[in-house]
Amino acid sequence: MNECSHFGGTHAETVRDDNRKRDMTPHRTEASAPRTTDHLDSFFDRVVADTGLNGNGAPISTGVVDDHLRRHFNLSGELKRIPTEKDDTFKLTTDTRPYLVKVAAADEDPAIVDLQSSVMRFLGQSAPELPVPGLLSTADGAVHVEIPCGTGESPRLLRVMEFIEGSTLSEATPSHSQLEDVGAALAKLSIALRPFSHPREDRLVLWDLANFHRLGELRQYVREAEHQRLADLVFARYEDMVVPVLPDLETQFVHNDFSPYNTIVDDASPEYVTGILDFGDSGRSAVIFDVTVAVANQIDSRLTDPWARALSVLSGYRRVRDLPDDHVDLLAATVPARLVLRVLIAGWRAQQNPERHEYLMSHAGRDWVDLDAIMSVPVSDVVTKLRSTATSGRSA
C-alpha cells in the first residue's frame, strides 16, 4: 500500500528521550541500508543527494501521520505543521503534553535518519545534562516507524519526540553574557560528541564548510553584480586561507547547524540555553566549521562593530573548549563563507521549491548587507578581533 502519495519537506527538532537508558546502537530497519550516489555526475549532485534535498513535492497527508501516531505510539491530538527545510514536521498537542513529529523527506537516506536518531540517543545517555531532544519509542522499542511508499521507493521514516517549549534565540535580544552562554553551550555539546561515531558520519552535507570551495557553481543564482563581486571575494579568501590547511584541521562528529533557530533560550534559566535542536546536518567535520555556524549567525551590520555579538559567542566557546589561535584566525574566511553559502543555497532552493520561497529566503534576509560590512575590514584587523577572545581557565 502506498501511503506516500504526498511528498514534502521540512527541518526542525525539539525533545527529550523517554527511555534514555535504552541501547544506543544504531536502530536498523530493512530500509536502513545506505544509498549510493556513485551514479551522479557532479559533486554538487552527490552532495545534494546525500543531504536529502532532491525532493520538492507536496506535504504528506496529516491523516496518514495521525494514523501512524495512533497505531504505533498510542498518541492522538491536534497536528500543526511547522515550516522547515526538508522533512515534514508537526507539533502534536495531546491532552497531556506536546510532542514533535518528524517524517523524513521522500529522498532522505534511511541510514542518515538513523544517524540523527543515534546521536540524540547517545547524548541522552552520555550527557543527560544537555538540553538535547530525545526520541520516544514504540511498544516494541523502535524509534522509527516506516510509512510505505510506492513500488521501488524506500519508505519514509516517522519519529516522535517531546516538544521543548520556549523561544528561539532568533526571537531573543541576548546580552553579552548570554551570548557567551550560547557559545559555552555549543562547546559543551562539542565535547560530549567527541566519542560518538556512526557508519554514515562521513556523508556529504551541503552546509558543511569543508565542501565550500567545491560549490562555486551555486554562484549562478546570484543576480546582482555587486553580490557577485562579494561572492567571488569570499570564495577567493576561503581558497587562500582555508583550503591549504583543510587536511590539518581537527575533526570529530559535530552538530553542524547551531543556529538561532535551533537554540531555545530562557532569560529566567541560569543556563540560558534550554534546548538544542535539529541534528539534521550533523556529521564528521572540522570543529572550527561547527563554531563558524554559531559565530556567523551573530554578525550584524547594524552595530558599530558587526563582529561584536559574534565575538561574545566565540569568547563563551573558548571559555569551555580550547581553540588554537591559527584555527580561530580561519573564522575571518569561514564566517563570510557561511553567509555566502546561506544566500546561495537559499536562492537555489527557492528556485527549485517556489512554494517554500518565503521560508527559505527569510533565513538569508540580511546576509548580503552583513557580508559587505565584514568584507570591507582588512583580514588582519579581523584576526586581531578574533584572537582577543582567548581566555584562561578553560575546562577542555
Residue 39 has pLDDT above 70, yes or no: no
Provide the residue type at 323 as one letter: L
The chain-wide mean pLDDT, for the chain, equals 86
How far apart are the C-alpha atoms of 285 and 202, rounded to whole Å? Answer: 8
Grid cell, residue 219, equals: 554562484
What CATH superfamily classification does 169-387 receive?
Aminoglycoside phosphotransferase (APH), C-terminal lobe (3.90.1200.10)
pLDDT band at 17 (very low <50, low <70, confident <90, very high): very low
Provide the pLDDT for residue 274: 97
Which ranges constitute the DSSP H helices of the chain? 43-51, 62-68, 110-126, 176-193, 225-241, 287-296, 308-320, 325-329, 331-352, 357-362, 367-375, 379-387
Contact 208, 281 (CB under 8 A): yes
- Residue 285 bridge partners (DSSP): 252
> What CA–CA distance (Å, rounded) separates 134 from 191?
19
pLDDT(21) > 80: no
Does the structure show a pLDDT above 50 at 12?
no
The pLDDT of residue 346: 87
- Which of 68, 157, 67 has its CA nearest to residue 108? 157
At residue 107 the predicted structure's pLDDT band, cuts being 50, 70 and 90, is confident
Residue with cell 525533545: 15
pLDDT bracket for residue 8 (50, 70, 90): very low
**How confident is the model at residue 25, as a pLDDT?**
38
CB count within 10 Å of CB 78 equals 12
Domain segments of the chain as ranges:
30-165, 169-387
Per-residue pLDDT band for 13 (boundaries 50, 70, 90) equals very low
pLDDT value for 155: 82
- Higher pLDDT: 43 or 240? It is 240
Stretch 282-301: mean pLDDT: 97
Which residues are CB-contacts of 32 (< 8 A; sequence separation ≥ 6)?
26, 110, 111, 114
pLDDT confidence of residue 31 = 40
For 67-88, write each residue's pLDDT tens digit.
999 999 999 999 999 988 778 9
Residue 53: pLDDT band by 50, 70, 90 thresholds? confident
Q: By C-alpha distance, which of 235, 335, 242 is closest to 291?
A: 335
pLDDT for the residue 221: 86
User: Tell me, what's the pLDDT at 20?
Assistant: 36
Residue 267: per-residue pLDDT: 95
pLDDT at 23: 38
- Write down the pLDDT at residue 394: 52
Model confidence at 361, in pLDDT bands (50, 70, 90)? low
The x, y and z cell numbers of residue 76, run together, are 492522538
Measured from the Cβ of residue 350, the count of other Cβ atoms closer than 10 Å reads 18
**The pLDDT of residue 58 is above 90:** no
Query: Given this model, what pLDDT does residue 154 score?
Result: 72
Range 30-165 classified under CATH 3.30.200.20: yes
What DSSP state is assigned to residue 181?
H
Give the residue with greater pLDDT, 134 vs 242. Answer: 242
Q: What is the mean pLDDT of residues 306-324?
A: 97
Range in 29-33, 232-236, 335-339, 349-353 the model is least confident about: 29-33
8 Å CB contact between 112 and 200: yes
All three cell numbers of 170: 532568533
Q: pLDDT at position 2, please?
A: 60
What the block records as the C-alpha cell of 262 is 535551533
Mean pLDDT, rounded, for 271-286: 96
pLDDT at 116 over 60: yes
133-170: pLDDT as tens digits: 889 999 889 999 999 876 667 788 999 999 999 999 99
What is the DSSP annotation of 252-294? EEE-----GGGEEE-TTSTTSEEEE---TT-EEEEHHHHHHHH
Say if residue 20 is exposed, middle or buried (CB neighbours under 10 Å; 0-12, 13-18, 19+).
middle
Residue 269 CB contacts under 8 Å (≥ 6 apart), including other chains: none
Q: What does the angle CA 359 – CA 364 – CA 376 come to, to the nearest 5 degrees?
A: 175
- What was the pLDDT predicted at 108? 85
Q: Residue 216 in 3-state DSSP?
A: helix
Find how far residue 129's CA is from the centre of its chain.
21
Q: How many helices (H) and strands (E) does the chain have?
A: 12, 10
Separation of alpha carbons 389 and 311, rounded Å: 7
Q: What is the grid cell recorded at 305?
A: 562593530
Predicted local confidence at residue 392, as pLDDT:
46
User: Is the separation of the CB atoms in 250 and 327 below 8 Å?
Assistant: yes
Q: How confident is the model at residue 209, as a pLDDT?
A: 97
Q: Pick from 210-224, 317-331, 345-359 the range whose average pLDDT is largest.
A: 317-331
Percentage helix, strand, coil for the chain under 3-state DSSP, each rounded to 5: 45, 10, 45
CB within 8 A of 271, min separation 6: which ones?
Answer: 131, 181, 185
Residue 35 has pLDDT above 70, yes or no: no
Given a cut of 90, whether residue 255 has pLDDT beyond it is: yes
Whole-number pLDDT of residue 149: 75
Q: Which of 22-26, 99-103, 162-166 has the lowest mean pLDDT?
A: 22-26
The whole model's pTM is what?
Answer: 0.86
Query: What is the DSSP pairing of strand 88-93 with strand 98-103?
Result: antiparallel
